Structures are given as C-alpha cells and as structure tokens.
Amino acid sequence: MKKRVVTIPPDMEPVRIDQFLAAQEGVITRGIAQKLIKNGHVRMDGKPILKPSIHVTPGAKLAYEIPAPESAVPVARSLPLEILYEDDAIIAVNKPPHLVVHPAPGHADDTLVNALLAHTSRLASLGGPNRPGIVHRLDKGTSGVVIVAKTDVAYLSLAAQFKDREIKKVYHALVYGRMDAETGTIDGAITRSGRDRKKMALTRVPGGGREAVTGWKVMKEFPGMSLLKLIPRTGRTHQLRVHLASVGHPIVGDPVYGRRKFPTSGVLAPLARDVKALGRQALHAIHLTFRHPGTGAKMTLTAPYPTDMEDLLKKLEKRFD
C-alpha cells in the first residue's frame, strides 16, 4: 500500500475530487480514482472522502493510498463447494449465488476458481492465468451448474462444444407478471449499452449487436409472477436478463435489469421482505447437457435450487396454492 499526500493549490478552481485525483501520480485514470474513493483510500484534511462528486478544497491536503497490485495468479482458498460430478477430466459444481466465478478487480481470492484450487491441484492450464479450466461463466447472482476442465484436452473439447452450440443449457427463472402464451421465443440482438458500459441492451441498429435467441416455457403461474423454463440458444452476456426485461417480464430481484421497487400494495406486497433478502436475480442454471470430453458419452448434470430460491418458491406456493 503506497501512501501519497498532495496539497491542493490555493488558487485551484472548483473541480470534482475524482477529476483532480486522476491527474496525480500513480492514479492514471478517473475510473481508478473513483474506485480509490469508493474503497475509502482518500482523505482530505484527514476526513475520509466517499463521494467522487465532492469538490476539492483549495489549500487542503489530499492523502490517498494506492493498494498493491493484485496477483495475476489466483491462490487456493478453502470455500464450500457442492460438487455435482468429478473425474480425471472434468469437475462440475453447483455454484451458489453471490459467488464470482474467477478472480477480477475486487474479488482476488473469494471466487470459484480459488475454491477449486483448494480442492484439486489439477485444472487445465488453458483459459488464462486467473481462470484455469473455466470454459463458461454464470453471473455473480446466478446460481447453478458450472463445468470446469481439469485437463487441456477436456478444455478444448468443451470450448468447441460451446462454440458449436452443442451444449444445451436449461435455466429456471421467477419473473414478474404472466406471459401471454404457454411457450415462446425472444429473438433480439444484444449489444453493450451506450448509457452504461456495465450493462447490455437490445440493439436498435439494424444488423447491429450479436444474435441472441431465448426459448421459454411457463412452468407455473402465481398472482403477479411466473416460474419459467428458459432455453438459451445463444450465449450472450446477460442474455436471459436482458431478454426478459425487454418483453416486460424482468427477473424477480434483478438488481440491474429488474424493477427498482417491489410492489408495496396488492397480492405481492407480503413478499417484499423475501425478495429483498434474495439480494439477486431469481435465476438458476438447473441442467447442462454435453458430451464427455474423454468418453464421448452424453451427460446431463442437474443442480438443485439454492436455499434462497427454494424458500421463495415455497412461500409463493403456500400463499397462492
């Protein structure tokens, strides 16, 4: 951790603190400046600064700390793992909600990869230094089946199956409202949002974006909600979440594409606390079908619901059945 102190010029014109900080030694970009502020590494005249929009005070002393760079090589860390299947070539787990798949900024040693390294010394070298054996991912808030390669041969086989769309994935999602049919398909190309680079959106440009197709089927209906079976025919970032939100049925609890406020009146109001406690999108990757990289045998792995989603569905059934 490197600590630096700079005196803000007495004749400094009003400027946001993240903008000023971005020009200082070791910070480089405004984005890094905002991250330092958010993580409590910035003080002005000894007082912590937590908002990047605050303006600097002329003549004040600005102190900031730059954390040591995170290691590019993930470390083993013992974390709970629910193993669905394992042999010499592959390992499949039921990823719990709120767990990141591989190390990334802010998640250096609390990911699925860290847990796998503590479980086995054998993971494929392919995939990158911080994501050994990882051939596909689930969002942090999404639970369910994740398959990981333990050998490079297995990695190449699984990667080819994903590329050729041979691997079949099935999800269950609890969404708002009732669908207008028993089954259907959502077909809409997806691109990165122009307003928020962390989000995805349906493209409005003819021929733009990447093809994205999602099949759906109603499994069960409740007042104000529906449990859907989803079969993505493509694998785009945030595809299911974006598609369902685009047709007016966002996934319950989705913090990015869902409803900002849960109904405080009507039949769903009593469930407000349960949805808030969920703290993530009610989306679960329940089945994954593929060819075993070694034997060629067709396999289907099934991941049970995590406790949070199972409890919410039981409360819905108890209330409305």
Q: Which residues pair with 175 in a beta bridge?
A: 226, 251
Other Cβ atoms closer than 10 A to 164: 8
Query: First CA to last CA across the chain, in angstroms?
Result: 57
DSSP string, 80-148: ---EEEE-SSEEEEEEPTT--SS-BTTBSSSSHHHHHHHH-S---STT-TTSTTB-----TT-EEEEEE
> 233: exposed, middle or buried (C-beta count within 10 Å: 0-12, 13-18, 19+)?
middle
Token pair for 155: 């990695």
Q: 230 pLDDT band (50/70/90 cuts)?
A: very high
Give the tens place of pLDDT for each residue, 87-106: 999 999 999 999 999 998 77
Domain boundary pick from 26, 42, 66 = 66
Give yes or no: residues 199 and 79 share one domain. no
Please tell me the least confidently modeled range out of 131-140, 144-153, 176-185, 274-283: 274-283
* Average pLDDT score over residue span 4-12: 89
> Which of 44, 66, 88 corresponds to the end of one domain?
66
Sole residue written with tokens 């969002």: 139
Q: Which of 184, 166, 187 is nearest to 175 (CA)?
A: 184
Length of the chain: 321
308 and 190 housed in the same domain: yes
Kindly state whether residues 247 and 265 are assigned to the same domain. yes
pLDDT tens digits, residue range 193-221?
Answer: 877 767 899 988 777 889 999 999 999 99
Same domain for 41 and 117, yes or no, is no
Residue 180 shares a structural domain with residue 253:
yes
Same domain, residue pair 91 and 118? yes
Nearest CA-CA partner of 224 in 264, 273, 277: 264
Q: Can you tell me the mean pLDDT for 17-39?
A: 84
If asked whether residues 181 and 315 sit together in one domain, one would say yes
Strand partners, 116: none
- Count CA atoms within 13 Å of residue 220 on its CB side: 11
* Together in a domain, 130 and 199: no
- At residue 265, the pLDDT reads 75
**Phi and psi at residue 152, to the nearest 5°:** -65, -35
Q: Among 239, 234, 238, which Cα is nearest to 168's?
A: 234
Domain boundary among 23, 41, 66: 66
Residue 252, pLDDT > 90, answer: yes
pLDDT of residue 313: 95
Helices (H) and strands (E) in the chain, counts: 7, 15
What confidence tier does 251 reach under pLDDT thresholds 50, 70, 90? very high
Q: What is the 3-state secondary structure (H, E, C) of 228-263?
A: EEEEECCCCCCHHHHHHHHCCCCECCCCCCCCCCCC
CA 262 to chain centre: 21
The answer to whether 132 touches 124, Cβ cutoff 8 Å, is yes
Whether residues 318 and 170 fall in one domain: yes
pLDDT for the residue numbered 31: 81
Catalytically annotated residue among 18, 139, 254, 308 = 139
Count how many domains the chain has.
Answer: 3
Q: Please report which helix (H) or strand (E) contains residue 38, including its range.
A: helix 30-38
187 a catalytic residue: no
State the average pLDDT for the chain: 91
Domain co-membership, 197 together with 94: no
Task: Indicate whether 124 and 185 sit together in one domain.
Answer: no
Give pTM, 2 decimals. 0.79
The CATH number given to whatever domain includes residue 59 is: 3.10.290.10
SS3 state at 315: helix
Integer Cα distance of 120 and 134 in angstroms: 14
Query: Taking the CB of residue 269, how many other CB atoms lie within 10 A of it?
Result: 12
315 and 192, same structural domain?
A: yes
CATH number, domain of 197, equals: 3.30.2350.10
Distances (CA, A) of 158 to 111, 122, 134, 155: 21, 17, 10, 5
Domain range spanning residue 141? 70-164
